[in-house]
A and B are shown apart, each in its own frame.
Chain A
């Protein structure tokens, strides 16, 4: 391959470029990205809290970027992928022999919020800067919609900054789909323990306000005063630009267990990729930092080999920081949850999930050491022997 184009220059795209050079690709490397590489997880944590600045979010120093010897098209979107190559918003077309799709995901928005200001989402640095400025203006009451990880982290940051916060969650138990009902409830308790009101089992019906939001209406008729709203209602994969590309897309770019699309010259990595997970049996979009960081190693090896020679078979892992506590989870949640160490009441414990005699997952709050050991046990059990 003489030219490889990487579309999306955040975590997964940057790692793909690093892997390409690391594995000896010495051809032309074209990096196309709407944004420069930066690290997203701190946006809802230390960045909102003012503990780190935008400069601290860099995923690579200038030296590392220069070492890639790449041709950069930053601040421009890819609009189409076709036979002739990738067409960019500025009219340029980049023809390549291989393509890396790393366009990630975009925050979901609520239709009802369309015509009102004061309603935020949080995905990009721009979003975080805007939210931080809105918080600094001293809102009298903040409503966070969604008690998933982003919602919970935003609520936590707002609370630590001294704001009055209410979290509204449509599901009866927050995070139950990820952590199971029991651990989801434990996470839900963190809000009340930190003087944040959590309302569950009620969807948002709409907003009040004229130009600017003044309140949130719930489906059960309740109305909450709010002069700042943050919607943490998930993300959808950034696949719009792939229409007509001939690639299979369905809630993500469909790839095999080696992150290769139907076309062996095109790979997809990170939040945009829906890969066949050998450990879970089905297709998943990982939507977590570690997967976006690790998939490119596998995918790039396959791209350079011209076919799927290696597979991504890692258990999902993520962490979250809420109210000064560190949450970590790996594997999958099952009904069979046991407390392996610590105690739930003090919010310092490790819980394990089991499928019969087999360890399926681990969740921990403020217990990195035992968590790490159990995560390793999980890894060695789950990783298929080669």
Chain B
């Protein structure tokens, strides 16, 4: 489990990148929190810099859209999903369970 930030630090429609060997990002969208591998499966953009709309994030470089719930892209140019991770909220703090990597959708 890694601590991301407090709930108040991540408003709706925002994302936060957690640096690490495999950067992971937490997203706050549609009233829920999601964690995904931060690097777009197409090339090398950071999804935390993307545009969040509904339950999707659009990559800032070539506009592939990923479903925050599953990590799956719903349009080209990305062909592969990114991994998702369970998010746990405890005492107003957002944690990401990076050990429980979920297989790609």
Contact = CB atoms under 8 A, between A and B. Distances in A.
A93 interface: no
Contact of B60 (A59, A60, A371): A371
Interface in B12-50: 43, 45-46, 48-50
B104 interface: no
Given A15-B76, A64-B79, A293-B77, A368 B51 contact: no
Interface residue SS majority, chain A? helix
B105 interface: no
Contact of A319 (B46, B50, B61): B61
B63 A290 contact: yes
Interface string A369-386: 101110010000000000
B60 A368 contact: yes
Contact of A372 (B43, B49, B79): B49
Interface in B37-87: 43, 45-46, 48-51, 58, 60-63, 76-77, 79
Contacts of A293: 62, 76-77
Contacts of B45: 368
Interface in A56-103: 59-61, 64
B105 to A, nearest CB: 17
B60 A18 contact: no
A355 to B, nearest CB: 24
Given A15-B76, A368-B46, A372-B51, A290 B62 contact: yes
Contacts of B48: 369
A372 B60 contact: yes
Nearest to B43: A42
Given A15-B76, A368-B61, A372-B51, 12 more contacts: A42-B43, A59-B77, A61-B79, A293-B76, A293-B77, A319-B61, A368-B45, A368-B46, A369-B48, A369-B49, A372-B50, A373-B51
Contacts of A64: 79
Nearest to A11: B77
A289 B62 contact: yes
A60 to B, nearest CB: 8
7 contacts: A290-B62, A319-B61, A368-B49, A372-B49, A372-B50, A372-B60, A373-B51
Interface in A308-333: 319, 328
Contacts of B43: 42
Contacts of B46: 368
A373 B79 CA distance: 24
B47 to A, nearest CB: 10
- 5 nearest A-B pairs in the assembled complex, by CB-CB distance: A368-B49, A369-B49, A368-B60, A372-B60, A372-B51
A277 B58 CA distance: 25
Nearest to B17: A369
B92 to A, nearest CB: 25
Contacts of B77: 59, 293
B64 to A, nearest CB: 10
Contacts of A18: 76
Contacts of A42: 43
